[in-house]
Structure 1
Amino acid sequence: MHVEGQIRVLALGLIKKDNRVFISQGYDPVKQKTFYRAMGGGVDFGETSIEALEREFQEEIQAKLTNISYLGCLENLFTFNGKQGHELLQVYQCDFVDAKFYELESLVFAEGKRQKTALWVDVALFKSGELLLVPEPFLALL
């Protein structure tokens, strides 16, 4: 749950195959801008970031993860929907257990009350700046 004025801790999974990355699409109605972010979500009190990562993928797209390895922590100060945000992102490289996820073009899922889309995107589109990947330091991990 997001509380204004608090730092959120998130666990995000970087899943790559060839030159593509599995990523979630978002939209900021105030900026009228589409952006992309690695899938994952908030770490609940009493759970590790790996447990949160596995739970979020299970809840959102019913996917199990394997080969999970820690890449590092990114700090993200941002404005979304006109509000200031502050996150600490625990980032993990991982793979899907079920190969069917590598065959998908895109996948629509519910995040709370919002409909979101996850899709495979060519890494070159982020590196060229054609598509916006957030937070920006995440680019270095691709």
Structure 2
Amino acid sequence: MVPRANALGLIIRDGSFLLEEQKGKHSNGDGYFYRPIGGTIELGEWSEETLKREFVEELGVSIRIRRYLSCMENIYRIEGKIGHEITQMYLVEFEDERHYAQEIFAVAEGDRVTHAKWIPKAELLTGELVLYPEGLIDLIAVEF
């Protein structure tokens, strides 16, 4: 397997972050885990373009890039298989402010549908929720 480049976007509302909730096997075990919205950068696509495309594809909403946050590298194992992600992390905002009032978003990716919801920073900082990519909780603690 080769490293995968991806782009993820953090959206903040009143001290809470919009995160996709998934359930399954992950590098810290099995169960629920959370991640920002985004996805794989396609060949020839800028990471900012990836984010805009992914938010439209997955949530059906348009975003604006507020600022670049960090490049994060994540090497992990799931069921003995190694994965390697290089993530461009951005702070983003909805183009249509009405989306901030929405509590839950359906996240469509192919045939699979999950949900994204607002998770308070304080809840993330307790360490009880599994958040990916690795190191994101440290970034949130320092930046926000």
Question: Identity, % of aligned pairs?
Answer: 38
Separation in 2 of the partners of 1:81 and 1:39?
A: 24
TM-score of the superposed pair, with normalisation by structure 1: 0.89
Instruction: Give the deviation of 1:98 after TM superposition.
Output: 1.1
Q: Deviations over 1:35-55 (max 9, x none)?
A: 000110010001100000100
Write the letter of the residue equivalent to 2:103: E
TM-score (norm 2): 0.88
RMSD: 1.6
SS of residue in 2 equivalent to 1:32: strand
Contact 2:48 2:65 in 1 (8 A): no
Question: 5+ residue gaps in structure 1?
Answer: none
Between the aligned partners of 1:97 and 1:38, the Cα distance in structure 2 is 17
**Which of 17, 22, 35 pairs up with 2:18?**
22
- Between the aligned partners of 1:80 and 1:11, the Cα distance in structure 2 is 21
Match of 1:32 in 2: 30
Contact 1:28 1:80 (C-alpha < 8 Å) held by counterparts: no
Tell me the distance in 2 between the aligned counterparts of 1:101 and 1:88: 29
Count of equivalent residues: 138
> Which stretch has the larger CA shift, 71-80 or 39-48?
71-80
Separation in 2, partners of 1:113, 1:78? 25
What runs of 5+ residues in structure 2 fail to find an aligned partner? Answer: none
Partner of 1:52: 50
Give the structure 2 partner of residue 126 of structure 1. Answer: 124
8 Å Cα contact 2:39/2:51 also seen in 1:
yes
Q: CA deviation at 1:26?
A: 1.4
- Contact between 1:28 and 1:81, CA under 8 Å: does it hold in 2? no
Q: Judging changes above 3 Å, is the alpha-carbon distance between structure 1 residues 83 and 95 closer, same or farther for their aligned structure 2 residues? A: same
